[in-house]
Structure 1
Amino acid sequence: MSKIYAHTYISEEVDLRCQMVRFLVEESDGYKVAFPEEQFKDDDAFYNGYDLLKTDDAKKVGEDNDGFSKWETWQGELDDDKKVKLICYLSEYPIYNIIFTKNGEDIYQINDFRNLYSFSESALNKLQSAFPDLDYFIFK
C-alpha cells in the first residue's frame, strides 16, 4: 500500500471552500473515489467546490515563516497496483503552495500557484513524472 498525502499552505484569511484534492481508483466498473468515500456522497458537492478543508478529517499541521497555515487536506492508502487519477480543484484565491507526499517523502511541490489556468504543460509533465504510478492529473 502507498500512503499519499496532499498538504496545502494557505492564509487563514482565505475562503477555504472550492479547494480540494480528490483521488480516484480504477475498479472493474470504473473509477471510484479512493478516500474518504463518505465525503463525496453526491457529485454535486464535488463539482461545486466541496468544503474538504473544513471536514473532520482536515487538520492544521503546522505553519511556515510567513504565517501561512499548513493543512493536511487529504490522506489515504492506495494499492500499489491500482491505476489512480488525481483531480485537483482550486479556487482563484491565492494558494501559497501544494505539497504532495508519498510514503512520508515530499514528492513534488507547486510553489505560489496563483493562477492554475496558466499552469504550463511542462510543469504538468514534471508533476506527472514525479508520480509515475498515477494515471493522470486534471486541474480545473
Structure 2
Amino acid sequence: MDHDSDVRTLALGETSGTVPLARDFTRTALQEWGWLPAATADRRAAAEDVLLVVSELVTNACLHAEGPERLRVLRLATVLRLEVTDRGAGQPAPRTPHRSGRPGGHGMFIVQRLCLDWGIDRTPGSPGKTVWAELAAPA
C-alpha cells in the first residue's frame, strides 16, 4: 500500500470481497483526509458518492474485465480521482438507452451522472486498462 499524502494505492487480485475491501480502503482514505466524518449533509453526500463510484468501478472490473488489479485514490486540488486498473480489453460505456427499471447495466450510467469526468487510459502493447473517474472535492 502506498501512503503518499495525496495518493492511496490498494493492490487487488484474486480475493473474495473485493468491492467491500475497496470501499473500506477508500473510506479510510476519506477519514485520513478529513472528509469523514462529514461535518455537513453536503460533505456526507460527497463522500457517499465517492464510495458508490468506487463500488461501481470495482464491480465492473469484476464482472466484465477479468477482475481489478489495483485501486488508486488521488486527492488533487479540486477533485478526487479514482482509478481502477484491470486486465480486460473491453470498453466500459453507459448502456443506452438507459432503462432504470431493468436489472443490471447501471454502473457506468451512475458513474457518468455522479462524476465531473471519467475515461479510460490504456498502455500501448499492454493488456488491460485503467478506468478513472473524478468527483468534485468537498468545499
Larger helix proportion of the pair: 2
Q: TM-score range by the shorter chain?
A: under 0.3
Larger strand proportion of the pair: 1
TM-score, L = length of structure 2: 0.28
The higher-RCO structure (CA 8 Å, 6+ apart) is 1
